[in-house]
Amino acid sequence: MASLFYDLLTFFGISTTAPQNFGELFPWLLSILVALTLFLFVFGMIKDFVHTFGRGKF
């Protein structure tokens, strides 16, 4: 599971090393939050498209 998380961080260009102080922590966590939001949004759109297409309403 950790390797998938690191692959996702690498894909979005986020450093895989943990921040060394609190000044680096907030931007690092914010970038992870944005990356996960985009990742889940894309898969949500794919799920909705497959669901709509599967019902034959497309």
Q: Where are the domains of the chain?
A: 2-14+24-55
Residue 57 predicted with pLDDT over 70: no
Q: Could you tell me how far CA 3 lies from the centroid of its own chain?
A: 14
Query: Which pLDDT score is estimated for 37?
Result: 93
56: DSSP letter: T
pLDDT bracket for residue 5 (50, 70, 90):
confident
Q: What tens digit of pLDDT does each residue of 12-47 get?
A: 888 888 889 999 899 989 998 998 899 999 999 999
- Please give the Cα distance from 15 to 29 (Å, whole number): 11
State the pTM of this model.
Answer: 0.70
Q: Where would I find the beta strands (DSSP E) of the chain?
A: none
**For the residues of 5-20, what is the DSSP string, one character each?**
HHHHHHHTT--SSPPS
Query: Which pLDDT score is estimated for 50?
Result: 92
